[in-house]
Copies of this chain bind each other. A is one copy, B any other.
């Protein structure tokens, strides 16, 4: 990679891979979650994530690139950690608290990446791409806030 545009495309491919891994991982988390509000937040976020994949495809099209993935060790590690945790916790209420934590780690990964991509798109003059990336960024931030809210309102208390 030699230019900011190269780095932008590379990171777009990395996030495109990450979103696809998240689409695969979320149903397992939904299945293991016990609290209704947690299942609902995760289900709503799965639907959002599918739209986010389409938004990334639109960004690839705006810059005349074929959508391609780049293996992203960051998200792979986060998902591996989430899956291990699901195997290691016996109590279902405690597991819910763990699922919230894993979900928030993934959300924060995406908040970092979309924040970076939007800033780079702005610098590169890709205004439409920047707007799409910021739309997803706001969704990720909202999903993270919702997870915090249900944790503090109920899930952590149930777990304790």
Contact = CB atoms under 8 A, between A and B. Distances in A.
For chain A, the bracket of interface size reads 35 or more
Contacts of A97: 4, 7, 120
Contacts of A69: none
A72 interface: yes
Interface in A129-160: 144, 148, 151-152, 156-157, 159-160
Count of identical protomers in the assembly: 2
Given A74-B74, A123-B160, 12 more contacts: A1-B90, A4-B156, A4-B160, A7-B98, A74-B80, A77-B78, A77-B80, A105-B109, A108-B111, A119-B148, A119-B151, A119-B152
Interface of A: 1-4, 6-7, 10-11, 14, 72-78, 80-81, 84-85, 88-91, 94, 97-98, 100-101, 104-105, 107-109, 111-113, 115-116, 119-120, 123-124, 144, 148, 151-152, 156-157, 159-160
